[in-house]
């Protein structure tokens, strides 16, 4: 059953001077923060990290999360408020384990919580749960989104009112087990099924959402990421190739795709004049943080840009993370100033 907290709990009393680059939540472990402004207020949809004593491996079995909380802030300098548990694995008919990085979207007064989870065959799919408020409660659809696979959904609302989901992640995220949306499992190792080093890297996947936000309105397509010469970033280019954690924002009419490079731990970015790409690699948004994973979101609040991200300051353990936020700057030429996380 959905165990939704009825009361909101103030977690910390932040001030502008002390909250930037500090853990936002200190009574839970939180990660992969997807931040949005809904109705003038900031809402954060993170993963809820827990210690479940599953041994660490290269497929991320130790990231064994079981539910989601939602957090809100009236402004970037306001206290952050925990709305409580809004969805648990037992509330999702098709999901068996590992509630990884979620995202949310609003359309016509309804709120949609998108999340990856493993099904009974240990295959990641992406689900959606619907609510009447940004903090839920959310009711999961009985099945995963048809045609979905892999992890890290990020739903971008374009300025023309279209919504697109970007998703995918390699290694434990299983994207390497698919080609052209077809499951083609080449083996259990994290790198089985990846292209060879001199072939184009796998890109994130994009699909336009249906009017009701519950399905893909089209066959998902791979997004190409090119270098400055117009050549695809290669699989062997670990410092620049896509690994997981896609996020899209628009600045002055240009689409910015930012993503984690995984085993090299950068948040990199690439730009395009279309949500479908191709995107051209531009540089690094966020240098490596403490902990193996790097995962972020970028959001405009009252004309200022912020990045939400995580590190492992509170625990020192890679699977017990804490979310943070800091300012992000676009330079006059549109490039993003690289952020060195404050430790
Ligand atoms: O939190 C579990 C996984 O770790 C996420 O889905 C990835 O993006 C990485 O942050």
Ligand 1, atom 3, residue with closest C-alpha: 100
Candidate of 66, 100, 153, 322 to mutate for ligand 1, largest count of ligand atoms within 8 Å of Cβ? 100
Ligand 1, atom 8, residue with closest C-alpha: 245
What value does the mean pLDDT take over residues 257-282?
98
What value does the mean pLDDT take over residues 199-213?
98
User: What contacts 280, CB < 8 A, 6 or more positions away?
Assistant: 225, 226, 227, 228, 230, 270, 271, 272
**21 confidence band (pLDDT: 50, 70, 90):** confident
Q: Which residue has the higher pLDDT, 60 or 21?
A: 60
Q: Where are the alpha helices (DSSP H) in the chain?
A: 16-19
Residue 319 CA: nearest ligand 1 atom is 1
pLDDT at 11 over 80: no
Task: Identify the pLDDT of residue 19.
Answer: 67
Task: Identify the pLDDT of residue 5.
Answer: 45
CA of 320 to the centre of ligand 1 (A): 11
For the chain, what percent of residues have pLDDT higher than 70? 94
Sign of CA dihedral 22, 26, 30, 35: negative
pLDDT at 104 over 90: yes
CA distance 261 to 239: 6
Task: Identify the pLDDT of residue 18.
Answer: 52
CA of 204 to the centre of ligand 1 (A): 14
Q: Which residue has the higher pLDDT, 256 or 13?
A: 256
Ligand 1, pocket residues at CB < 6 Å? 31-32, 47, 60, 63, 100-101, 151-152, 169, 244-245, 293, 295
Average pLDDT score over the chain: 94
Catalytic residue among 67, 237, 244, 311: 244
Residue 295 CA: nearest ligand 1 atom is 10
Hey, what are 53's tokens? 């004593």
Residue linked to tokens 């995984």? 262
Candidate of 28, 150, 173 to mutate for ligand 1, largest count of ligand atoms within 8 Å of Cβ? 173
Query: How do 163-167 and 154-157 pair as beta strands?
Result: antiparallel
Ligand 1, atom 4, residue with closest C-alpha: 293
What value does the mean pLDDT take over residues 68-81?
95
Element (H, E) at 175: none
Catalytic residue among 32, 222, 237, 311: 32
What value does the mean pLDDT take over residues 172-201?
97
Question: Quick check: 201 and 225 in contact, CB under 8 A?
Answer: yes
Task: Identify the pLDDT of residue 7.
Answer: 47
**15 confidence band (pLDDT: 50, 70, 90):** very low
Question: Quick check: 34 and 48 in contact, CB under 8 A?
Answer: no
Whether a cis peptide bond, with omega within 30° of 0, leads into 86 is no
Residue 293 CA: nearest ligand 1 atom is 10
pLDDT in tens, 211-262: 999 999 999 999 999 999 999 999 999 999 999 999 999 999 999 999 999 9
pTM above 0.80, yes or no: yes
Question: Quick check: 176 and 194 in contact, CB under 8 A?
Answer: yes
CA of 293 to the centre of ligand 1 (A): 7
CA of 102 to the centre of ligand 1 (A): 9
Judge whether 32 counts as a catalytic residue: yes
**Per-residue DSSP letters for 181-243?**
TEE----SSTTTTPPPTTSBPP--EEEEBPTTSSSBSS--EEPPEE-TTSPBPBTT-TTTS--
pLDDT at 3 over 80: no
Which of 23, 27, 22, 33 is closest to 11 using CA atoms? 27
CA of 77 to the centre of ligand 1 (A): 27
Candidate of 290, 295, 309 to mutate for ligand 1, largest count of ligand atoms within 8 Å of Cβ? 295
CA of 141 to the centre of ligand 1 (A): 22
Residue linked to tokens 């472990």? 29
User: What contacts 15, CB < 8 A, 6 or more positions away?
Assistant: 77
| Radius of gyration of the chain from its Cα atoms, rounded to whole angstroms | 18
Hey, what are 232's tokens? 């695809």
pLDDT in tens, 290-308: 999 999 999 999 999 999 9
Total number of residues shown for the chain = 343
CA of 299 to the centre of ligand 1 (A): 19
Residue 101 CA: nearest ligand 1 atom is 6
Which of 32, 25, 119 is closest to 71 using CA atoms? 25
pLDDT in tens, 129-165: 999 999 999 999 999 999 999 999 999 999 999 999 9
Task: Identify the pLDDT of residue 17.
Answer: 40
CA distances from 210 to 55, 97, 164 (A): 39, 27, 9
């Amino acid at each position: 059953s959905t165990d939704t907290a009825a009361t909101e709990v103030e977690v910390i009393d932040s001030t502008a001077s002390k909250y930037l680059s500090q853990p936002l939540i200190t009574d839970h472990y939180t990660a992969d923060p997807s931040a949005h402004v809904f109705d003038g207020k900031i809402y954060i949809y993170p993963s809820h990290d827990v210690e479940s004593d599953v041994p660490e491996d290269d497929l991320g079995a130790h990231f064994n999360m079981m539910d989601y909380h939602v957090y809100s802030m009236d402004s970037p300098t306001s206290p952050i408020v925990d709305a409580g548990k809004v969805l648990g694995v037992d509330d999702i008919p098709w999901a068996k384990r590992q509630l990884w990085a979620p995202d949310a979207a609003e359309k016509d007064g309804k709120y949609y919580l998108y999340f990856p989870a493993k099904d009974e065959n240990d295959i990641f799919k992406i689900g959606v749960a619907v609510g009447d408020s940004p903090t839920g409660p959310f009711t999961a659809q009985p099945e995963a989104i048809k045609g979905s696979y892999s992890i890290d959904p990020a739903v971008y609302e374009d300025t023309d009112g279209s919504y697109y989901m970007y998703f995918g992640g390699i290694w434990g995220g299983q994207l390497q087990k698919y080609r052209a949306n077809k499951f083609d499992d080449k083996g259990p190792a994290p790198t089985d099924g990846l292209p060879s080093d001199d072939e184009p890297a796998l890109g994130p996947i994009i699909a336009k959402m249906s009017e009701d936000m519950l399905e893909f309105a089209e066959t998902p397509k791979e997004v190409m990421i090119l270098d400055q010469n117009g050549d695809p970033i290669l699989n062997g280019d670990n410092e620049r190739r896509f690994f997981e954690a896609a996020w899209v924002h628009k600045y002055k009419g240009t689409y910015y795709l930012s993503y984690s490079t995984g085993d090299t731990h950068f948040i990199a970015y690439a730009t395009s004049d279309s949500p479908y790409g191709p995107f051209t690699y531009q540089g690094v948004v966020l240098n490596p943080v403490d902990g193996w994973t790097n995962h972020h979101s970028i959001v405009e609040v009252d004309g200022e840009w912020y990045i939400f991200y995580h590190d492992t300051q509170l625990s020192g353990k890679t699977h017990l993370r804490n979310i943070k936020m800091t300012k992000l700057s676009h330079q006059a030429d549109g490039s993003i100033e690289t952020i060195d996380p404050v430790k």
